[in-house]
Each structure stands twice: as structure tokens, then as C-alpha cells.
């Protein structure tokens, strides 16, 4: 039985995408031999909408295990716009189904985060055979304990925080590292602990600026002339927590604030009298070669996707649950975000070694 498999990567890039693509391809070639064809879809769902596809050769998947980014390219196509016909008069859902049919695909593999999973579920509900693979440095996909790309980003963010220690200590400064994570604070939490941050600020635990300042002053009183703060880009204070998301965004826009990091640094400097600086590693956290852990995880996820294809088991997302690679129904995980619980063991671990969350 011949199988023709389409693969796309959607949303933000991250280390491990190519390793996953390779894992899927190699497992499919091993399992199905010459009875499989793989179609690469360029620039995510945009490529599926516009039929930007290329039939791949086995050689295309060689040498990509260690490469960052994605050989297929990626693009953000927001889920909220999928059913909206814009100025180009394109019915996106209809166009994606048409490309699936034109390419004679038997199934579609989508590598991405929350938005990607929502669109994957939409296409599944429209009758396409879809399998999702969980990618994001934020580790915030519901139903999986880990996503590929997360551990590499933790390593990079940890290195950033490590390097801030020496310059902060040399100058007696408070250094504030802004770590990616607009909705969930997993990356900031893990890298903050691993990098020895003194203060961690995440969206799930709104901060009190006075308590953050007190934590810095306490260190100074103990003879420690510097402090390191790891702040998630989506963090907000206790007053903002009382507002709805749109109202919070409006007030920030009016004040010229994009993230809380610079505001925190300025307030801390005013309240403590200590010189404060901000470091934003930004997209460096997404770049470069995947870690050994993510290479292995990505390969395992890719192999499991091939297993699902062999079983004609579609409408699922690959996941890691209790250290076992398995799958969840797309309908059960799409649209859900895995937040850091306030009583999470990692939060407790951090607090037990004296890390402040400003709560």
C-alpha cells in the first residue's frame, strides 16, 4: 500500500524541528520502503493554502539532525484567521483541503505549538488525516510533559544567566534577563533555577514590585553586591492581574510598555538605589543546534508518528506522558495551554532554596 505523507512546520521555529522531520522520514522509509512518498510543504499552513509543495528524496533528510531551524521554512498563520476570508478572497480551509487533494496526500503531519495544533484539529474535523507533533520552546502544550525545543532553549537561557553573574558581580548591579514565554513561565522557571537566579518572575504568579525590591535589598544586606532576575516576557504585576487581558494590553500600549521587564528594572532601581540593567536574549533562545536531549526526543516523537501512520491512526497529537511516548486526541489538547501551577514542585523547589517570585 503506497502512502503519500505531507509534512509542514508552522509557527515559531525552534531547535529540533529538523531532527523530528528526519525521525519521521527515516522511520517511514524503514517501515514502508519504496511504498512511501514524502511531500515537504513550505512555510507552514501558508504553503498548504498556496500549494507550495515539493516531493522529497531520501537524501534530503541526510545531515539535518544537528541543524537548527527547519528545512521546510515556517510562517505564522494565526488560527483566528483561518476561517476569515481576507482581501485576497481566499477561503483558507477550502484551499488547504484542495492542496491536500491535489497532492494526493494520505495524511498530513504538522509540527508546531498551540496554534498549529488548533488548525490541525480543524483540518481533522474537516475530514483530513492529520497527526500533530508538539514543538515549542515554551513547553506549554497541553497533554505532554515536554515538547521538543524546550530543553535546548533552557540550555541557552541558562548560559545567558550564567554569563550575567560575572558582569553583575563585577559591577555590583542588578541584572534582569528577559526570557521568552508570553503565556507560560516554564522556560523562565527551569533556566532560572539552573542558572542560579535570585528572583524568578513568571506570568502564572503575578508579582508585587515591593517584594521584588525587598528581595534585592535583602541580598545587599547580606553582603551580596548583586542580584540576578529571570523575568518571563509575559509577566505582569498584582494590579494588572485584576484586569482583563485586553484592558491590560491597552494600558500598557498607552504607557509605551511592551513587556514588564524594563518597567521592573526601572522600578527596582528607583526603590533600591542599585544600578540595574536589562538583557534580552530574544530569538537567540530559538536558534542553533538542538541539544542531545532534544535530538533524542525529536527522533522518538518522529518514530511514533510513523507508527501512528502505519496504524492509520489519525486525529492525534504525539506526546510524552510519564516518560512514555504516546498520543492524545487532537480534540482533547487543541486550544488548551499548559500553565505552571502555583504549587508546582519546581516552584516549591525554587522557593525552598530562597528564590523569590515576588508573591
State the catalytic residues: 138
Question: What whole-number distance in Å separates Cα of residue 22 and Cα of residue 27?
Answer: 8
Interacting residues of 256 by C-beta distance below 8 A, sequence separation 6+ = none
Question: What whole-number distance in Å separates Cα of residue 243 and Cα of residue 236?
Answer: 10
DSSP letter, residue 205:
S
Query: For residues 297 and 320, is the Cβ–Cβ distance under 8 A?
Result: yes
User: Which of 149, 153, 144 shows the shortest CA–CA distance to 325?
Assistant: 144
Q: Identify the H or E element spanning 320.
A: strand 316-321
Question: What whole-number distance in Å separates Cα of residue 340 and Cα of residue 49?
Answer: 35
Helix axes 209-221, 260-272, angle to 10 degrees: 50
Question: What whole-number distance in Å separates Cα of residue 142 and Cα of residue 95?
Answer: 28
Question: What whole-number distance in Å separates Cα of residue 161 and Cα of residue 341?
Answer: 23
Question: What whole-number distance in Å separates Cα of residue 141 and Cα of residue 308?
Answer: 20
What would you measure as the largest C-alpha separation in the chain, in angstroms? 72
With cell 509575559, the residue in question is: 234
DSSP string, 211-260: HHHHHHHHHHHTT---EEEEEETT--BTTGGGS-HHHHHHHHHHHT-SSH
Question: What whole-number distance in Å separates Cα of residue 106 and Cα of residue 283?
Answer: 35
Amino acid at each position: 500500500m503506497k502512502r503519500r505523507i505531507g509534512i509542514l512546520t508552522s509557527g515559531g521555529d525552534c531547535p529540533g524541528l529538523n531532527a523530528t522531520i528526519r525521525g519521521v522520514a527515516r522511520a517511514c522509509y524503514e517501515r514502508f520502503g519504496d511504498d512511501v512518498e514524502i511531500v515537504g510543504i513550505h512555510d507552514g499552513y501558508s504553503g498548504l493554502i498556496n500549494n507550495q509543495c515539493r516531493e522529497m528524496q531520501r537524501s534530503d533528510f541526510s545531515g539535518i539532525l544537528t541543524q537548527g531551524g527547519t528545512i521546510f521554512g515556517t510562517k505564522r498563520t494565526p488560527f483566528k484567521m483561518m476561517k476569515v476570508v481576507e482581501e485576497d478572497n481566499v477561503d483558507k480551509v477550502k484551499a488547504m483541503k484542495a492542496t491536500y487533494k491535489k497532492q494526493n496526500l494520505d495524511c498530513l503531519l504538522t509540527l508546531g505549538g498551540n496554534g498549529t495544533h488548533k488548525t490541525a484539529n480543524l483540518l481533522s474535523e474537516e475530514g483530513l488525516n492529520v497527526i500533530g507533533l508538539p514543538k515549542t520552546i515554551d513547553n506549554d502544550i497541553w497533554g505532554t510533559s515536554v515538547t521538543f525545543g524546550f530543553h535546548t532553549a533552557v540550555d541557552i537561557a541558562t548560559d545567558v544567566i550564567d554569563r550575567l553573574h560575572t558582569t553583575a558581580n563585577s559591577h555590583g548591579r542588578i541584572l534582569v534577563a528577559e526570557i521568552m514565554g508570553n503565556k507560560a513561565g516554564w522556560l523562565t522557571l527551569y533556566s532560572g533555577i539552573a542558572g542560579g537566579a535570585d528572583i524568578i518572575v513568571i506570568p502564572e504568579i503575578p508579582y508585587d514590585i515591593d517584594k521584588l525590591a525587598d528581595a534585592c535589598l535583602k541580598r545587599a544586606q547580606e553582603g551580596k553586591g548583586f542580584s540576578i532576575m529571570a523575568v518571563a516576557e509575559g509577566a505582569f504585576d498584582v494590579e494588572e492581574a485584576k484586569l482583563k487581558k485586553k484592558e491590560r494590553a491597552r494600558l500598557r500600549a498607552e504607557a509605551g510598555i511592551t513587556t514588564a521587564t524594563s518597567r521592573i528594572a526601572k522600578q527596582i532601581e528607583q526603590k533600591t538605589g542599585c544600578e540595574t540593567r536589562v538583557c534580552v536574549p530574544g530569538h537567540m533562545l530559538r536558534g542553533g543546534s538542538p541539544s542531545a536531549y532534544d535530538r533524542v526526543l525529536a527522533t522518538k516523537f518522529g518514530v511514533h508518528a510513523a507508527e501512528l501512520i502505519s496504524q492509520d491512526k489519525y486525529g492525534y497529537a504525539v506526546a510524552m506522558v510519564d516518560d512514555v511516548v504516546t498520543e492524545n486526541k487532537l480534540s482533547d489538547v487543541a486550544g488548551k495551554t499548559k500553565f505552571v501551577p502555583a504549587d508546582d514542585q519546581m516552584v516549591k523547589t525554587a522557593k525552598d532554596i530562597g528564590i523569590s517570585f515576588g508573591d
